[in-house]
Amino acid sequence: MSAIRTENLCKTYRSGWKREETFAVRMLNLEVKEGEIFGFLGPNGAGKTSTIHLLLNLIRPTSGMAYLFDRPVPETAVHRRLGYLPESVNLHTYYRGRELLNFYAALCGVPVETRSSRVSELLQRLQLEEAAEKSVAKYSKGMAQRIGFAQAMIHDPDLLILDEPTASLDPVGRKEFRDILLELKRRGKTVFISSHILSEVETICDRVAILQNGELKRMGTLQELSADKSTRLVVGSLPAPVLEALAATRAEVTMTQAKIVIRCPDETLRQTVEELLHQHHVGILQRETETQSLEEIFFSSITPPPKL
């Protein structure tokens, strides 16, 4: 079962007297499997937040369908399995921290017996214990983000949809946040995360999708998306005939005191080099597949904006 699935999802807005159409999302086909951390990337105005709003049924698709756990998104019951943290966390400022979490816990149907302990656990986990009895109106941006994250997790949902979750957090907060997400993944939860911080997404996400102008440009694991499929073979020594043979190929040989690294730019060459090494009884100490960084993948996937 997929946690999120969209089928030819489209969203257009009409504005102005001429009711001109603006495409927010075009024919989006996404599939997020259960238990994975999925990164949703794209430049500003790519349609990430619109997609999230469609998934939450806050806006209606112009065409196409969206499903959460194979149920159409307008079904409210499926929201029992969903936690959401918006980009800008707007909270009910007339609550204290603990009261706010109690309110959302009650809305999510968390039983009264376990509600208090669950709230305390989350306040402790997100280091909000001291601010628990403070009015939410007095919270800093970072604290609001933390309590927003706590409300998203209050009912221990199977799917978390996070829109720019670390935007207001300091480096320590980001690290804690990453740890929590990895812990959730270990527990089999699905996380759908929209972020601009590529290094962060690269560290935690199993798969990513890159969106631009409402269109899905790429989707897959980092390895799948990487155009550079070169392999690094590490050996201890190389006999002269092998060195000569390698010189005739596109393989790059780098020698250091301790090891020799042979870089094969493509899969065919890697096979040829490995056969050659095998023929000369050279043992391969290490085999590494090089991939592009997410940043490289991102910039190679999107059309650069016109220069000002």
Partner 1 sequence: MKTIFLIATDSIRALLYQRLLLGLMVASLALTIVFSILMSSARKNITAAYSSEATHSATATTAATNGMSATEQKRFRASMEQASSFLQAEFYAMASGGGEVVSLFIFSLAVTSEIRRGTIRLTLSKPVSRLQFLLGKYLGGVVVMAGYAMLTCLAIFIFAQSQGLELNPAVKWAPWLMFCDELILGSVAMLLSLFVHPLVASVLALFGGNGLCSLHNPLYYLLPSYQDFSVFSQVLQGSLLSWKDVLFLSLYALDFVIIMLLLALWRFRAKELI
Give one DSSP letter per residue of 281-292, joined into a string. TPPEEEEEE---
Binding segment for partner 1 (CB under 8 A), chosen from 87-95, 250-258, 260-268, 299-307, is 87-95
Q: Does residue 21 belong to the site contacting partner 1 (CB under 8 A)?
A: no
Q: Does residue 167 belong to the site contacting partner 1 (CB under 8 A)?
A: no
| Contact (CB, 8 A) for 235 and 64 | no
Buried (b) or exposed (e) across 55-78, using 16+ Cβ within 10 A?
bbbebebbebebbbbeeebeeeeb
Return the ∠ at Cα 32 (arms to 161 and 225), rounded to 5°: 110
Binding segment for partner 1 (CB under 8 A), chosen from 102-110, 179-187, 227-235, 253-261, is 102-110
Q: Does residue 106 belong to the site contacting partner 1 (CB under 8 A)?
A: yes
Q: Does residue 58 belong to the site contacting partner 1 (CB under 8 A)?
A: yes
Q: Which is nearer to partner 1, 114 or 289 (CB)?
A: 114
Which residues, in sequence order, are CB contacts of 116 under 8 Å at separation 6+?
A: 102
Q: Does residue 111 belong to the site contacting partner 1 (CB under 8 A)?
A: no
Q: Which is nearer to partner 1, 106 or 285 (CB)?
A: 106
Q: Does residue 103 belong to the site contacting partner 1 (CB under 8 A)?
A: yes
| Contact (CB, 8 A) for 101 and 150 | yes
Cα-to-chain-centroid distance, residue 83: 15
Q: Does residue 82 belong to the site contacting partner 1 (CB under 8 A)?
A: yes
Pairing mode, if any, of strands 82-85 and 71-72?
Answer: unpaired
Q: Of 230, 245, 231, give the one whose Cα is nearest residue 277.
A: 245
Q: Does residue 104 belong to the site contacting partner 1 (CB under 8 A)?
A: yes
Of the candidate residues 39, 42, 47, 83, the single one contacting partner 1 (CB under 8 A): 83
Q: Does residue 149 belong to the site contacting partner 1 (CB under 8 A)?
A: no
Residues lying near partner 1 in the complex (CB under 8 A) are found at 53, 56-60, 76-77, 79-80, 82-84, 86, 88-95, 103-104, 106-109, 148, 151, 161
